[in-house]
């Protein structure tokens, strides 16, 4: 959450995305079966498209309305829309996180959740007994309680943009006094899931309309370019990004 002069948050996101795309293109691993390919593209996610109500608004499956309002505010603060590209809310990151928590990832299906539990070093990773869905529910409650104590009774979603940014910096530094879980742990998982949703295949709810892939110039889930080599030799290859669903 640092704001170095001349370096915008979105420029950092673009560089991360381009690096990740380059790594994926350079792989020499054997082709994956369709189910394995989907799992690798978004290992925690559902394959269901986002649901909409009659007015076109997203439907949250896991978060309650007050929790959803906080998640939307958190994502919008982490990745706001700007002149470089779309914001996290615009491309459906809150829905991506909601879908994750409503499924196997939220239940901690691939996590070791047996004790003993203790305070670990930063290198030891996640050290809590809570599966991700519970972590979010407790974390949002702790965040709102902390904001209420320190920000005139307001919940996180009721804060100004400047106060939201300051609050997230306190979480990142572990300076926010949460009652039930470490604030730094909540921030770490939130940031990880936000990035996953921002760059994920659109079929999982985030990166809506492949807008983020288009921003970073990533062609998406296309593995073969042999028939285009001669046509584009020494020329820039520009193509609309394709989702896994586009190839089925």
pLDDT tens, the chain, 248 aa long:
555 444 455 554 555 454 444 333 232 223 333 333 333 333 343 334 456 654 446 799 999 999 999 999 999 999 999 999 999 999 999 999 999 999 999 999 988 888 777 777 767 777 888 999 999 999 999 999 999 999 999 999 999 999 999 999 999 999 999 999 999 999 999 999 999 999 999 999 999 999 999 999 888 888 777 888 898 899 888 888 999 888 87
Residue that has been written with the tokens 């309650």 in this structure: 64
CA distances from 2 to 7, 129, 140, 165 (A): 10, 30, 22, 10
Domain that holds residue 63: 9-247
Could you tell me the pTM of the whole model? 0.77
Would residue 2 count as lying in a domain?
no
Would residue 145 count as lying in a domain?
yes
pLDDT at site 50:
53
Would residue 1 count as lying in a domain?
no
pLDDT at site 110:
85
Would residue 3 count as lying in a domain?
no
Would residue 4 count as lying in a domain?
no
Would residue 81 count as lying in a domain?
yes
Dihedral (CA of 175, 179, 182, 187) sign: negative
Distance CA 149, CA 147 (A): 5
Number of domains observed in the structure of the chain: 1
């Amino acid at each position: 959450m640092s704001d170095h002069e001349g370096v915008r948050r979105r420029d950092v996101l673009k560089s991360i995305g381009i690096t990740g795309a380059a790594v994926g293109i350079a792989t020499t691993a054997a082709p994956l079966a369709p189910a394995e390919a989907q799992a690798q593209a978004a290992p925690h996610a559902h394959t269901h498209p986002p649901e909409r109500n009659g007015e076109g608004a997203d439907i949250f499956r896991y978060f309650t309305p007050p929790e959803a309002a906080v998640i939307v505010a958190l994502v919008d603060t982490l990745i706001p829309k700007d002149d470089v590209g779309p914001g996290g809310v615009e491309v459906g990151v809150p829905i991506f996180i909601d879908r994750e928590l409503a499924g196997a990832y939220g239940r901690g299906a691939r996590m070791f959740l047996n004790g003993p539990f203790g305070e670990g070093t930063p290198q030891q990773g996640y050290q809590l007994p809570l599966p991700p869905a519970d972590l979010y529910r407790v974390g949002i409650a702790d965040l709102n309680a902390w904001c209420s104590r320190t920000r005139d009774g307001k919940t996180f979603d009721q804060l100004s943009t400047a106060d939201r940014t300051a609050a997230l910096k306190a979480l990142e530094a572990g300076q926010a006094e949460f009652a039930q879980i470490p604030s730094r742990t909540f921030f770490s998982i939130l940031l990880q899931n936000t990035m996953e949703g921002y760059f994920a295949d659109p079929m999982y709810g985030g990166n809506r309309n492949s807008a983020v892939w288009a921003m970073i110039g990533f062609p998406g889930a296309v593995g073969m370019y042999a028939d285009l080599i001669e046509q584009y030799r020494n020329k820039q290859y520009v193509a609309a990004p394709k989702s896994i669903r586009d190839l089925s």
